[in-house]
C-alpha cells in the first residue's frame, strides 16, 4: 500500500505540465483513484484494521493533496511569470500625443501678480480694449490740449474711439462701479502707436492699481510698494521715490528699486546708477476722484502702474520683446 502511495507521490512530483498533473490528480485523488480503491474494501476489515487503514488513508490523502497543491502552485507561478514576461513593454518610448500644453508667460506672471494682490484684498477688474477719449484721457485729467497726450502715441479708430493707451480707464470704471473705499488692479493689453523693435512693442501688457481710503499717505504708498515688490521679486527690495509727472496723480513719482543685479553698487543693467526705474505712482489727483464721483475731501488714495511685459522679460531674461507676440512654439513651449 505504501508503495502505491509512494508511486503516486513520485508521479505528482514528476508531472511535466499542469495538464499531466491534472491526469495524475484524477488517477490518484479522483473518484476512481488510488485512495478510493484503498477505501473500497474497508467493510471487510476488522475494527482495528479499519482504524489503521482509515488513519493511513487520511495521512496519505493529506500528503498527496499537499504535494499536488504545491506542484499546482508551482505550475501557476510559472505560467504567470511566462505571461508577464511576454507582456514586456518598453516604457522608455514617449507617451502618445498630446503632451501637456503651456500657458503664455504673460498669463503666468499676470496670474501670479493677480493672486498676490488678491491676497492683499484687491479686486481684479477688466475693461474694454477700445476706449472712449473721455475714459482714456479726460477722466484722467488729460484734456485734449494737454501735452501729456504726446507722451502716449495713440491708435485712433473710426468714430472717435481709440485703443486704450493704458489700463487706467479701468480704474475710472472701477471707481464709478465700486465706489470708495476701494482696492483694485486692472491688468490687461494696452496699445501705443510706435514702431516695433527688440525693446519696443505697440502691444504690451500693463497692470495698474489703486487704493482709495481715508488718509492714505505717501508713507503708506512707499510701504505698500516695498511689500509688493518684495513679494514679486521674492527678496527684500529697497525702493526710492523721486518726482515724476503723470496728470492723474499729484504728487507723482517715479519709483526706482535698488538694482537686483548688482545690489546697488552699479552695473551695466542699472547704467552704473545702482537704481532701476520700475514704476510710476502717486497720490490720486483730486480732479480724477471728483470726475469719478468720489469726494476728495473725504477720500484719497494712491495709484500705480506696473509693466507686466517688462516684468515677464525680467523674470525670464527675455532679451527681445517681439518673442512675446510671435506665436512661435519654440519660444512658448518653454513656459
Partner 1 sequence: MKFSSNWIREFVEGLDLPAESLERLITMKTAECEGVETVGALLSEATPARVLTVEPIEGSHNVKATVEAGRYGVRTVVCGAPNCRPGITTVYVPLGVKVVSGIESNGMLASGAELEITKDHAGIIELTEPLPPLPSADSVIEIDNKSITHRPDLWGHYGMAREVAAIAGKPLRDPVKMDLLPKPGSPVQVEIEDLALCPRYSALVFENVRVMPSPLWLQFRLIAVGLNPINNIVDLTNYIMAELAQPMHAFDRAKLAGDTIYARPARAGERITALNDEAYELTPSTVVIADAAGPIAIAGVIGGRDSAISEGTTSIVLESANFQAASVRKTSSALKLRTDASMRFEKAQDPHNTVRALARALELLPLISPGIRLVGGLADQMRAITEAAPVLLDLDWLARKLGRELEPKAVEGILTSLEFRVAQVKPGVLSVGIPSWRATKDVAMADDLVEEVGRMIGYDSITPTPPLVPCAPSYDPPEREFLRGVKRQVSAQGYSEVSNYSFVSEEEARKLGLAVDDHVRVLNPIAAGQELLRTSLLPGLCRNIIENAKYSEQFRLFEVGHEIHRVDGAKPVEKSHLMAAIFSREGDGREGLFELKRVAEGLAPGVRAHAVAEPREWEHPARCAELWWNGRAIGRLSEISPRIIEEGRAAVVDLDLELLRELAPAPASYRPIRKVPGSAFDLSIITEARRAAVDLELEIRRFAGELAESVEYVREYQGAPLEPGQKSVSFRVVVTAADRTLSSAEIAEMRARLIDGLKSSGFDLRI
Looking at residues 251 to 290 of the shown chain, list those that interact with partner 1 (rule: CB under 8 A).
251-254, 283, 285-286
Of residues 92-111, those binding partner 1 (CB under 8 A): 97-104, 106-107, 111
Comparing CB distances to partner 1, the nearer of 5 and 188 is 188
For residues 133 and 162, is the Cβ–Cβ distance under 8 A? yes
Count of residues engaged in binding partner 1, rule: CB under 8 A = 86
Comparing CB distances to partner 1, the nearer of 102 and 199 is 102
Comparing CB distances to partner 1, the nearer of 14 and 227 is 227
Comparing CB distances to partner 1, the nearer of 53 and 149 is 149
134 binds partner 1 (CB under 8 A): no
What is the torsion angle, in degrees rounded to the nearest 10, for the CA atoms of residue 156, residue 160, residue 165 and residue 168? 180
Rounded to a whole number of angstroms, the minimum distance from the CB of residue 215 to partner 1 is: 5
* Cα separations in angstroms, 131 against 1, 164, 169, 206: 107, 6, 8, 16
305 binds partner 1 (CB under 8 A): no
Looking up cell 481710503, which residue turns up? 213
- Give the number of other Cβ atoms within 10 Å of residue 269's Cβ: 13
Comparing CB distances to partner 1, the nearer of 56 and 335 is 335
298 binds partner 1 (CB under 8 A): no
Rounded to a whole number of angstroms, the minimum distance from the CB of residue 61 to partner 1 is: 46
Of residues 138-157, those binding partner 1 (CB under 8 A): 144-145, 147-148, 150-151, 154-157
Closest by Cα among 192, 190, 172 to 182 = 172
Closest by Cα among 104, 328, 333 to 205 = 104
211 binds partner 1 (CB under 8 A): yes
Instruction: Tell whether the torsion through CA atoms of 190, 196, 198 and 200 is positive or negative.
Output: negative
For residue 9, give every residue at least 6 positions away whose Cβ sits within 8 Å of its Cβ, in sequence order, or none.
Answer: 63, 64, 67
For residues 175 and 293, is the Cβ–Cβ distance under 8 A? yes
Burial of 187 (0-12, 13-18, 19+ CB in 10 A): buried
- Give the range of 9-17, 20-28, 31-39, 181-189 binding partner 1 by CB under 8 A: 181-189
**Residue of the chain from 20, 133, 138, 250 that contacts partner 1 (CB under 8 A):** 250
Binding mask 40-79 for partner 1 (x = CB under 8 A): ----------------------------------------
198 binds partner 1 (CB under 8 A): no
Amino acid at each position: 500500500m505504501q508503495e502505491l502511495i509512494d508511486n503516486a507521490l513520485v508521479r505528482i512530483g514528476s508531472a511535466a505540465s499542469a495538464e499531466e498533473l491534472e491526469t495524475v490528480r484524477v488517477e490518484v485523488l479522483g473518484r476512481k483513484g488510488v485512495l478510493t480503491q484503498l477505501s473500497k474494501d474497508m467493510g471487510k476489515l476488522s475494527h482495528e484494521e479499519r482504524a489503521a487503514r482509515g488513519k493511513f488513508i487520511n495521512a496519505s490523502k493529506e500528503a498527496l493533496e499537499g504535494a499536488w497543491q504545491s506542484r499546482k502552485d508551482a505550475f501557476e507561478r510559472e505560467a504567470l511569470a511566462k505571461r508577464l514576461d511576454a507582456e514586456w513593454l518598453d516604457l522608455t518610448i514617449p507617451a502618445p500625443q498630446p503632451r501637456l500644453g503651456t500657458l503664455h508667460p504673460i498669463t503666468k506672471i499676470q496670474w501670479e501678480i493677480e493672486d498676490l494682490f488678491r491676497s492683499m484684498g484687491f479686486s481684479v477688474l477688466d475693461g474694454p480694449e477700445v476706449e472712449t477719449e473721455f475714459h482714456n484721457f479726460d477722466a484722467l485729467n488729460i484734456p485734449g490740449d494737454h501735452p501729456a497726450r504726446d507722451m502716449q502715441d495713440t491708435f485712433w479708430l473710426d468714430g472717435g474711439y481709440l485703443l486704450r493707451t493704458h489700463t487706467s480707464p479701468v480704474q475710472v470704471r472701477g471707481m464709478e462701479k465700486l465706489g470708495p473705499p476701494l482696492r483694485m488692479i486692472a491688468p490687461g493689453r494696452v496699445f501705443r502707436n510706435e514702431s516695433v523693435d527688440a525693446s519696443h512693442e505697440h502691444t504690451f501688457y500693463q497692470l495698474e492699481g489703486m487704493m482709495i481710503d481715508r488718509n492714505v499717505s505717501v508713507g503708506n504708498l512707499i510701504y505698500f510698494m516695498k511689500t509688493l515688490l518684495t513679494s514679486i521679486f521674492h527678496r527684500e527690495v529697497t525702493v526710492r521715490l523721486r518726482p515724476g509727472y503723470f496728470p492723474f496723480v499729484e504728487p507723482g513719482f517715479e519709483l526706482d528699486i535698488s538694482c537686483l543685479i548688482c545690489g546697488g553698487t552699479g552695473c551695466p543693467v542699472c547704467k552704473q546708477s545702482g537704481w532701476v526705474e520700475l514704476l510710476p505712482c502717486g497720490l490720486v489727483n483730486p480732479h480724477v476722484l471728483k470726475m469719478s464721483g468720489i469726494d476728495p475731501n473725504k477720500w484719497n488714495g494712491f495709484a500705480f502702474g506696473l509693466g507686466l511685459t517688462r516684468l515677464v522679460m525680467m523674470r525670464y531674461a527675455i532679451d527681445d520683446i517681439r518673442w512675446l507676440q510671435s506665436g512661435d512654439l519654440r519660444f512658448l513651449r518653454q513656459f
